[in-house]
Amino acid sequence: MSQLKVGLAGLGTVGVAVVQMLERQAAEIEARTGRSVKVVAVSARSKGKDRGIDLSGVRWHDDPVALARDPDIDVFVELMGGDGDPAKAAVAAALAAGRPVVTANKALLAHHGVELAQVGEASNATLHFEAAVAGGIPIVKTLREALGGNRIERVSGILNGTCNYILTRMADEKIAFDACLADAQRLGYAEADPTFDIDGFDTAHKLALLTSLAFGTKVDADAIYVEGIRSLTLADLEAADELGFKVKLLGVAVRTEEGIEQRVHPTMVPKHWPIAQVSGVTNAVAVNGDAVNLTLVGPGAGGAATASAVVGDLIDVARGNGGFAFGLPVAALQPAQRAPMQRHEGGYYIRVAAVNKPGTAATIARRMAEEGISLESIVQRRPQRAAGVEPNDVAVILITYATTEDAVRRVMAAIEADGVIVGQPQVIRIEKD
Ligand SMILES: NC(=O)c1ccc[n+]([C@@H]2O[C@H](COP(=O)([O-])OP(=O)(O)OC[C@H]3O[C@@H](n4cnc5c(N)ncnc54)[C@H](O)[C@@H]3O)[C@@H](O)[C@H]2O)c1
Ligand SMILES: N[C@@H](CCO)C(=O)O
Ligand code: NA
């Protein structure tokens, strides 16, 4: 029986779960691949740390790049994270040496994926990254292989487990943002630097990869409009609930006449939509193709779910299944034409702290009318208690009919200049039937 010798860099939440899964499922994996898949060498920051796994007989490398170059491994698994070195240098070194690579590192691939895929193509080494997008959901393979015959119009979804976990607990249990984030970190969902999660960049990294796979374009993370969930308050989630919506951090890539619109931002979705019911660390990815529309739902983060995707990729490597990293040879990937966010059309939830004086409502309504924005509803709520807001200022919530991002931005700038609002307005885009 031939062995697939695995070199694994990164022994944190995901790395440890991969070692455990390979041990636990050893017999099944051997039966499925005809090979024994075995971790023979590892690298991490701290050699002496007790991780609850048995690494006796496994070679230790202080330097992950040296591990990637170790001639006695067949495949390099990168689970360290970070979009620079050593992750980048190690992945490049393994590929350049003709060794397949499995990684969960969406930050690295969103910024250097095409370059790394090219290194792999030059030396006939495959690059696998199922774990990098939506954790345990097999969306990379679905787009690259199963849906390869479709012309895809849109790919969208909840792509960050940490944010969905936070939003779910805030909405359902009225727990403050910081406490929810601390729990997500304790459960191993969050990135080493959780600002990547809550400021939307992790979702953007994943969306950039999905866009490339769906539309056959070069990965273009810089084209993505990104807003995170940091500014969302319990009051916004309560207001959304009263209006019949849930708030989700969505990543959306859609073909438009001008190019591909790629955006990440909190979105109000009708409560009856299936995606509104996706809660906690669960992710969901919807794909609209010309022949097939589907939604995949499953665990988006955490050791076991992510290890499932890494091990699935290792099984592909053991079987010799390859293919192009982004579904096409790098030379065939097209530059993505960017559709500007200012042209985005949709409904908007706008919450402002309005100065409590005669004429305020009239001024806001006039500015909306000047931009041709129709209002579906205006709700005036009890005085705000937020820091920096006078007790007699009133929270005004405006729901617009479909309009453009451009028009909303101009109105917000105008009413700020008019001096009728105080503090930072909250703007949440709405998707509905
Ligand atoms: N945790 C999740 O749910 C999850 C899900 C999908 C993808 N990912 C991705 O998987 C990767 C690992 O995530 P994690 O949650 O296991 O992280 P972690 O912080 O728990 O573990 C990282 C490991 O890498 C090692 N490491 C970090 N920098 C290193 C360096 N410079 N040199 C040597 N070793 C280094 C650390 O010692 C640690 O063992 C990241 O790319 C992350 O984005 C994580
Ligand atoms: N931090 C990421 C891990 C999975 O990619 C998340 O919460 O979704
Ligand atoms: Na996945």
Nearest CA to 104 among 141, 67, 143, 134? 134
Q: DSSP string of 102-137? A: EE--HHHHHHHHHHHHHHHHHTT--EE-GGGSSTTS
- In the CATH hierarchy, which fold is given to the domain comprising 3-136+305-332? Rossmann fold (3.40.50)
Gap from CA of 160 to ligand 2 centroid (Å): 5
Nearest ligand 2 atom to the CA of 159 is 8
Tokens 């697939």 belong to 4
Ligand that lies nearest to the alpha carbon of residue 302, given by its number in the listed order:
1
Beta strands in 117-209 (DSSP E): 127-128, 152-158
Instruction: Classify domain 343-430 at the CATH class level.
Output: alpha beta
Binding site residue list for L-homoserine = 191
Q: Per-domain residue ranges for the chain?
A: 3-136+305-332, 146-299, 343-430
**CA gap 420, 292 in Å, rounded:** 49
Q: Which residues, 6 or more positions from 314, have their beta carbon under 8 angstroms from its beta carbon? A: 4, 6, 22, 29, 37, 75, 77, 102
Nearest ligand 2 atom to the CA of 131 is 5
Indicate whether residue 7 lines ligand 2 (CB < 6 A): no
Q: What is the pLDDT of residue 390?
A: 56
Options 141, 206, 246, 248, the catalytic residue: 206
- Is position 5 annotated as part of the catalytic site? no
Ligand that lies nearest to the alpha carbon of residue 200, given by its number in the listed order:
2
Nearest CA to 284 among 197, 413, 157? 157
Do 13 and 188 meet the contact criterion of CB atoms below 8 Å apart? yes
**H helix count then E strand count, the chain:** 14, 17
Gap from CA of 135 to ligand 3 centroid (Å): 4
Nearest ligand 2 atom to the CA of 196 is 1
Which residue lies with its CA nearest to atom 1 of ligand 2? 190
Do 112 and 118 meet the contact criterion of CB atoms below 8 Å apart? no
Which of 79, 195, 313 should be mutated for ligand 1, with most atoms under 8 A from CB? 79
End-to-end alpha-carbon separation of the chain, Å? Answer: 56
Gap from CA of 197 to ligand 2 centroid (Å): 7
Considering the entire predicted model, what is its pTM? Answer: 0.96
Gap from CA of 218 to ligand 3 centroid (Å): 19
Which of 130, 166, 189 should be mutated for ligand 2, with most atoms under 8 A from CB? 189
Which residue lies with its CA nearest to atom 15 of ligand 1? 13
Binding site residue list = 106, 191
**CA gap 366, 373 in Å, rounded:** 10
Nearest ligand 1 atom to the CA of 81 is 41
Gap from CA of 278 to ligand 2 centroid (Å): 15
**CA gap 271, 277 in Å, rounded:** 7
146-299: CATH homologous superfamily? Dihydrodipicolinate Reductase; domain 2 (3.30.360.10)
User: What residues line ligand 1, using a CB cutoff of 6 Å?
Assistant: 10-15, 43-45, 64, 79-81, 86, 104-105, 131, 135, 188-189, 191-192, 301-302, 306
Query: E strand or H helix at 421, and its extent?
Result: strand 421-430
Q: What is the pLDDT of residue 261?
A: 95
* Residue count of the chain: 433
Do 425 and 412 meet the contact criterion of CB atoms below 8 Å apart? yes
Q: DSSP string of 339-355? A: PPGGG-EEEEEEEEEE-
Q: What is the pLDDT of residue 389?
A: 53
Per-residue pLDDT of the chain (433 residues), as tens digits, is: 799 999 999 999 999 999 999 999 999 999 999 999 999 999 999 999 999 999 999 999 999 999 999 999 999 999 999 999 999 999 999 999 999 999 999 999 999 999 999 999 999 999 999 999 999 999 999 999 999 999 999 999 999 999 999 999 999 999 999 999 999 999 999 999 999 999 999 999 999 999 999 999 999 999 999 999 999 999 999 999 999 999 999 999 999 999 999 999 999 999 999 999 999 999 999 999 999 999 999 999 999 999 999 999 999 999 999 899 999 999 999 998 999 999 999 999 999 999 988 899 899 999 999 999 999 999 887 655 554 555 667 889 999 999 999 999 999 999 999 999 999 999 999 998 8
- Name the 3-class secondary structure at 428: strand
Q: Give the pair of three-digit tokens for residue 415.
A: 């009413």
**CA gap 120, 419 in Å, rounded:** 57
* ipTM for the assembly: 0.99
Q: What is the pLDDT of residue 383?
A: 59
